[in-house]
Amino acid sequence: MSQFKKIIGLMIVLLAFMACKTKAIPTDKDQKPLPERYTNQSDTVNSGSLQWQLFYKDDNLKKLIETALSNNFDLLAAVQKIEIAQNQFRLKKSELLPLVNAGAGIAQRKFGLFTMDGAGNASTNIRPNQIVPEHLPDYQVGLNTSWEADVWGKLKNKKKAALARYSGSIEAKNAIQSILIAEIAATYYELIALDNELDIIKETTALQQAALDIIKLKKEAGVYNELAVKQFEGQVFNSKSFELNILQLIQITENHLNFLCGRFPQAIARDKTTFSSFDFKISTGIPSQLLALRPDIREVELELAAAKCDVKAAKAAFYPSFTMTGTVGFQAFQSALLFQTPASFAYTILGGISAPLLNRRAIKVQFNTAKALQTESLLKYQKTVLNGYIEVANEMATIETLEKTLDLKNKEVYSYEKSVEIANDLFKSGRANYLEVLTAQRTALESKIDLINTKKSQYKASINLYKALGGGWQ
């Protein structure tokens, strides 16, 4: 017995030594820390921590977002992925516990008479004065169990990896929600911008029509010829075709909003008069807050944690496995005797140890794959963090530029509106020709459209900055 124990101990030491001969696990590469701040500001308040209900003030927009959160197909699919990941975690968690099954079986045996079993049974009583039957029935009812002792933490690390991926699926859903809300808000303000463009075009068309009527009267009086009439007519037709294009864009934009809300096309409630009252005030805080607020960064961080656990589990596969199996129940050669205890009571207990020898190459491949996936997850994490910082920096620069541009555009529109008034007055008094009126109207229209587009870009940049700071999923 002592000799047997020595052999088992020697096998364990030898197998453990063989398992340790693996390549070193890759460690995290040195990562440059995030800058302490975006600019010279020292404010630590981050608007990304605001709930979207507080950030967006428009009630019509809030209703659209609420509808989308309930019906959007991408978001609903993300919820199902959370359910899948949760079930995977439960599965890995259950692998740490013994596996117990209940079962019943019926067998019929016949041993050859020229075998040890057959010859022994032919001269053995199974019951007093009853030889073991040549055709021996076997009835069984009971429980069987198996359990692997998680000595090296293989199963525990698989459970940790599944838990990290389950948490990561929640962050993935949050990231989808953040993107969805930002897209709905940007599309909503794009729709309102189109409404305002349509009003400007209608107003301009009316002015052009009035100028055309004057030209026609002056042609009849012999002041102008047909060329002037056609010039003004062409401009009116151009504005009307522009109006039709805007109406088409409005319909397409409405349909896109309805698609994001997971519903068939219908009218979108909105107040176009709110477009001029820009009320987004955003504080960027400090860059390190992105690590906690951005769901995409938290998702890849959890994926990296899961990859690390996968490497540990893959390494543990080199070590010996300790398993225990057993059965307990009732067994008899007649069904009537099956539950007559203690004679029919039966059990088996088996403990075993095994380690890979011939299949070590396959395990090594799996281990190296796990290390490569860990390195890939680390690089993805670093890329996502850098991308988050760049997104914030870009939107901040865009907003700063748009604020200056918007001020200039307002002055530009005011100047061109005055030029149209002056051109019309001079034209009526005969001190300006019709080409000057045409040019002034066309330029004023273009400047007003540019002003609306600049305002729309300002809305979009603010929405994108809020999303880049980690807002929209709370």
What are the strands of the beta sheet with 136-149, ordered from one edge?
Answer: 99-109, 136-149, 321-332, 345-354
Helix H, strand E, coil C: the string for the chain is CHHHHHHHHHHHHHHHHHHCCCCCCCCCCCCCCCCCCCCCCCCCCEHHHCCHHHHCCCHHHHHHHHHHHHHCHHHHHHHHHHHHHHHHHHHHHHCCCCEEEEEEEEEEECCCCCCHHHHHHHCCEEECCEECCCCEEEEEEEEEEEEEECCCCHHHHHHHHHHHHHHHHHHHHHHHHHHHHHHHHHHHHHHHHHHHHHHHHHHHHHHHHHHHHHHHHHHHCCCCCHHHHHHHHHHHHHHHHHHHHHHHHHHHHHHHHHHHCCCCCCCCCCCHHHHHCCCCCCCECCHHHHHHHCHHHHHHHHHHHHHHHHHHHHHHCCCCEEEEEEEEEEEECCHHHCCCCCCCEEEEEEEEEECCCCCHHHHHHHHHHHHHHHHHHHHHHHHHHHHHHHHHHHHHHHHHHHHHHHHHHHHHHHHHHHHHHHHHHHHHCCCCCHHHHHHHHHHHHHHHHHHHHHHHHHHHHHHHHHHHCCCCCC
Residue scoring higher pLDDT (243 or 130): 243
Contact 280, 471 (CB under 8 A): no
**228-252: per-residue pLDDT in tens?**
889 889 999 999 999 999 999 999 9
pLDDT confidence bin for 2, thresholds 50/70/90: low
pLDDT at 221: 83
Q: 162: exposed, middle or buried (C-beta count within 10 Å: 0-12, 13-18, 19+)?
A: buried
Q: How many residues does the chain have?
A: 474
> Furthest-apart CA pair in the chain: how many Å?
141
315-341 residue pLDDT tens: 998 998 889 999 999 998 888 888 888
**100 bridge partner residues:** 145
Separation CA 312–CA 154 (nearest Å): 7
For residue 136, the model assigns a pLDDT of: 83
pLDDT greater at residue 279 or residue 305: 305
Rounded CA separation 330/345 (Å):
5
Query: 267: which 2 tokens?
Result: 């009218």
| Each residue's pLDDT tens digit, 296-308 | 999 999 999 999 9
Position 437 confidence tier, pLDDT thresholds 50, 70, 90: confident
Per-chain mean pLDDT for the chain = 88
Q: Cα separations (Å) of 61 from 70, 250, 396?
A: 15, 16, 24
Locate 264 and state its tokens.
Answer: 């068939």
Report the percentage of the chain scoring pLDDT > 70: 93
Pick the CATH number of 23-96+150-320+355-468 from 1.20.1600.10, 1.10.1040.10, 1.10.3720.10, 3.30.70.2860: 1.20.1600.10
Contact 270, 191 (CB under 8 A): yes
Specify the pTM: 0.85
Rounded distance between C-alpha atoms, residue 127 and residue 130, angstroms: 5
53-111 confidence digits (pLDDT tens): 999 999 999 999 999 999 999 999 999 999 999 999 999 888 888 888 999 989 888 88
> In the chain, where are the structural domains located?
23-96+150-320+355-468
User: Does the structure show a pLDDT above 70 at 20?
Assistant: no
Residue 300 CB neighbour total at 10 angstroms: 23
Question: Could you read off the pLDDT of 360-376 as tens digits, one per residue?
Answer: 888 899 999 999 999 99
Residue 411 has pLDDT above 80, yes or no: yes
Paired strand residues for 354: 321
